[in-house]
Structure 1
Amino acid sequence: ENFSDIEFSFEVENFQKSNRSSVLLDPNQEFSMLDDKNRCLNIYLGSVLTDNDNCMCSVYARYWLLNKTTLPLLFKAKGSRDIAAGQSLEEMEQKRLESEESLDKQLQKDYKEEFNPLMYSYNSSKLLFRNKTQVQIADSVWSNPISLESVGTDGSLIIQEANGTKQFELGVSIKLLTGRFYRTKMISFAPRYILVNNSKHELYYRQTETRTGHLLPADSHFPFHWCDVSKPLEICITRNKDYLWSSSFSINQISEFILKVPHKTPKKKIRRNSATELWHDAFLVNVEVQLTEGSFLIVFKDEHLQEPPYRIENSTGQEILYFQKCLNDAHEILSPYAQVPYLFDVPDVSR
């Protein structure tokens, strides 16, 4: 049977009808469609003969771009003047005006997984390894170009605010889909950092050396981006107005540690001879930094220690001073032949 007598064209919502073409026994037969801005999207028809000499046809897009952030992302091919087909600047602007929310408020939305993929293509299907993509957030500068071909890899993308101090970091995960979608790569863009409060208490967080703290309710998870790239890229937390801010800690490497959040008005000092007495004037939080599909999850949990993680013993006949190396002015005295439970004031995530 002559399959070339059969012709196909395709129509997708918000796109003009594609070119019309006879069926070829080709796994990558290209069809082009234009959106309302005359930007081109290429989709493909894969046609193969079955064991019964039937022609089986599959329609697919080579790439799905999945925006798993709370931010308005735009995509374009490297060297292109236009954003990719199917995206609408007017629609994004209208949504922003209707919500009447600043970008800062959008960043404080609870992170929910409700996403729709964008079909994406390059104008040139030759030498795919040379094709690269750039990303923009609202009116930020365009990111450095990235390849979408490294299946099975996770990475990150840094995007600078155009006229400000914010720095956005995205986790990028590239997967080859399975089943009937096996010809399609799915590239997911997610927040690089997600704060997860699994404790029973409200927490507040902020970037180190910045003034504004943000609420992280119990049993919630929020994306996090740096509000001032000129400040240290670390964060600190507190519980409420009765507590000081914790020491700063890094969130870009896998780790687990206990964090002390000191009370503003500590109780009268007592001899510290038990784990309970060690932190009678502090709120303890277990912090675990996990990495999954290009995103760091910073998980906060309540900590109820029965025994201290460390104990310092003075086996000499002299008093000794002890302090954490980075806190020379916070020393304490340990009497001869005494011992004391100990917890680091500043977590060392490299341990």
Structure 2
Amino acid sequence: MQDTVFKPSDFAIINSGSSDDFKKEDRLLCKDADGLQLNLKLHYHKVPDGGGAFRVTVYSPYIILNKTGLDLQMRAKGFLQGARPAAGQSTLSNRSRSDRDRPKATPFMFSYGNDDHRNRALLQIADSEWSKPQSFDAIGSTAEVVLPSPSRNTEVHIGITTEAGEGKYKMTKVVTLAPRFVLENKLGEEINVRESSSSGFMTLKPGAHQPLHFMQKTAVKQLSLCHPGMNNQWTSPFNISDIGTTHVKIAKAGQRQRLIRVETLMEGATIFLHLSLETKNWPYQMRNESDTEFTFYQANPSLDDDGVEDRSGWRPIKYRLPARSIMPYAWDFPAAKFREIIINAHGKERHVKLAEIGNQIPMKFATTSGQQKIIDINVAADGPTQTLILSNFRQSKSLYRQKSKSGSRTSTDGFEVKDQETTATFRAQLKLSGIGVSLINSQLKELAYVTFRDVSLRYHDSPLQQTISFSVKWIQIDNQLYGGLFPMILYPSVVPKRAQEVDAHPSIHAMVTRVKDDSYGVLYIKYATLLMQQMTIELDEDFVYAVLDFSNIPGAAWSDTNEEGKLCDEELDIPEPQQQQSGQDIYFELLNIQPMQLDLSFMRTERVNAEDKTSSRNPLMFFLNVMTMAIGNVNDAPIRLNALMLDNVRVSVPALTQNISSHYSQE
């Protein structure tokens, strides 16, 4: 191999002819200058109508793309064996000092001594300790790897992404190593950055794209910011693993506060943090429309899961909110796990969660003159800003009313929700006893028959809400291919014994309830849920390939069978994010995706060669690669997906989709 450190390989027999003394070999052995072995794989493909001719493909089982910006060393560890250095690494440690400012990495070929899914790799970044054994076999997976430093006080965080190669590289697994955290300075000026638990700091120049390599060994990673110069104060720390937008208050000595917008987004296994100056809207606004002056402050951020406060060293930052005034606001302690503010008037306090959009229980207190006052509390969205509105209580306009008799002296008791007009103004219901769909390929052969029994779609409209629900009581997919190993492809794992159980436990149930009041400024979803019963999936390789051929629709993005493909970018620099988080915001009072389980069986038939296919962008081909390259034959393997519950969350559709995908990809 030209331009590599490997010596000429030994010969490999690719055609034994009629002799039984030799066998066709499936690997090619290469050695570097240190005698370390790289096992390249050989794949044989018969040329159709070629008179016995065949094509031999030589490929590396793994290609490692080092985008960390640091030196990388690797070891291969076989099952029940010791770790051995990987071949071809001698040039990695012989760079000139000038190149170390930003090393230019090249794709690195990697292999194990044999084919065993229990093989593992060990990594070393710069002068860190060796990592725990890592697997590169799960296609489509992302993972975080933590490597301790020799002093054990700091650690390196890197992200690993494993993908299947494209086009002619389809048999190679491409493993990308990238920094776990990457900072980008979009402020237009220099900014100092340090970890909250460290005294050292680094300076980010305008437009700098800086990975965070060696970090303090702490459970929660936090950063603080500061303007360069004397007497400038460090900001409150903020978490760097919280996906979304965080605002941090910052000020130069003797100047007014400004707001820095920290956009945290995740792409692949890397978390990007973009620092920019917020010039438009503060995240919150306090609007006092009443005739009472309030004081407010953020609640104690040192609150554990049991609700126990740690008041040592904490002093609240209090703000005065005069009557009929407006004040912009951002959290003083953005790293707090439970964030809420406390409003105070005449000695009475109330905890308010600014994340909960909607009307909250009114606040009742007595003034210094003994007069009883009631304040209505409402949280609404005004574009990207969430506004806390404090107004004088008017029972005719409020969602609450005073109870006729109440001896309570607390600020929240003595109120009840008014009877709302919940009578339905419109109802619609569509019921189908069954739907049958037959999949027929271009050869007019039936592949599968899909059955949906008792399909129901309901729509309910009232003056306050709209509700849509959908349910299917039974789903079944029958395999219609001749000689199929499994007669049914998909069916519920638990078969109900009585008809009442089918009614109570449909195969799929989904429901969304939307609040019609648009004054909140967002699409307000009061309740959304998705339920799927435990299902069994039984597949054989022939059926998957038949469906794969069926899915090759002309013009579809996944039907592009580009044989060349692309292995990697020309330069393996620190990655840049490609996604956008913009879009209409949706507010979920409660989003509940209930737990699911799939019992998966897959059998290889060996009648079709998995490596003869070229398209790797087809989602079915991706699924097949996962089955054949990472799992093989399985029987009733449970795939469990935990429940996902989001309450009082405001998020855009792209961000919600990414967060759900990231959550379940790590299950």
Per the shorter chain, which TM-score range?
A: 0.7 to 0.9
2:66·2:72 contact (CA, 8 Å) conserved in 1?
yes
**8 A Cα contact 2:285 2:327, kept in partner:** yes
Aligned-residue CA RMSD in angstroms? 2.8
> Residue in 2 aligned with 1:331?
318
Look up the match of 2:47: 50
Cα distance in structure 1, aligned partners of 2:335 and 2:239: 9
Does residue 299 of structure 1 match 2:299? no
The structural deviation recorded for 1:265 is 2.5
**Contact preservation (8 Å) 1:205, 1:214:** yes
1:257 partnered with 2:231:
no
Contact residue 71 and residue 93 of structure 2 kept, 8 A: no
Aligned CA distance change for structure 1 residues 252 and 214 (closer, same or farther; 3 Å): same
Query: Among 156, 170, 186, which residue is 2:158 paired with?
Result: 170
Q: Which protein is bigger by CA-based radius of gyration?
A: 2
Structure 1 residues not aligned, in runs of 5+: 1-9, 267-280
1:132 correspondence with 2:120: yes
Cα 1:229–1:28 change in 2 (3 A) is: farther
Greater strand content: 2
Q: CA deviation at 1:14?
A: 2.0
**Aligned pair count?**
313
Q: Is the 8 A contact 1:259 1:284 kept in 2?
A: yes
Q: What is the CA–CA distance in structure 1 between the aligned matches of 2:150 and 2:134, rounded to whole Å?
A: 19
5 Å-filtered alignment, 1:64-83, equals 64-78=63-77, 79-83=81-85
Distance 1:50 1:184 in 2: 21
Superposed CA offset, 1:229-285 (max 9, x none): 15852111122226321111111131112221123334xxxxxxxxxxxxxx12322
Distance (Å, rounded) in 2 between the aligned partners of 1:251 and 1:316: 38
Q: Which moved more, 1:78-87 or 1:11-20?
A: 11-20
- TM-score by length of structure 1 reads 0.80
- What does the per-residue CA deviation read over 1:38-68, in whole Å, with 9 as the maximum and x for residues that have no partner? 1110002212111132311211101001111
RCO higher in 1 or 2 (8 Å CA, sep ≥ 6)? 1
2:86 is matched by which residue type in structure 1? A
How far 1:119 moved relative to its partner?
0.5
The DSSP-based 3-state class of the residue aligned with 2:168 is helix
Give the conservation status (yes or no) of the 8 Å contact 1:160–1:168: yes
Q: Distance in 1 between matches of 2:282 and 2:221?
A: 30
Q: For residues 161-240 of structure 1, what are the structure 2 equivalents within 5 Å? A: 161-230=149-218, 233-240=221-228
**CA, structure 1 residues 86+348, in 2 after alignment: closer, same or farther (shift >3 Å)?**
same
Match of 2:234 in 1: 245
Q: 2:110 aligns with which of 86, 109, 120?
A: 120
Give, in whole Å, the separation in 1 of the partners of 2:206 and 2:49. 60
Normalization by structure 2: what TM-score? Answer: 0.44
Give the AA of the match of 1:14. Answer: V
Whole-Å Cα distance in 1 between the matches of residues 43 and 170 of structure 2?
Answer: 12
Compared CA separation, residues 45 and 231, structure 1 to 2 (3 A): closer
Cα distance 1:318–1:12, how it changes in 2: closer, same or farther (>3 A)? closer
Aligned-partner Cα distance in 2 for 1:283–1:31: 62
How far the C-alpha of 1:160 sits from its partner, in A, is 0.2
Q: Deviations over 1:301-325 (max 9, x none)?
A: 22212x4432224456554321111
**Relative to 1, partners in 2 of residues 1:219 and 1:116: Cα closer, same or farther, differing over 3 Å?**
same
Superposed CA offset, 1:144-178 (max 9, x none): 11111111111111000022422100010101011
For structure 2, the 5+ residue unaligned runs are 17-22, 302-313, 338-648, 650-667
Distance across 2 between alignment mates of 1:282 and 1:50 = 71
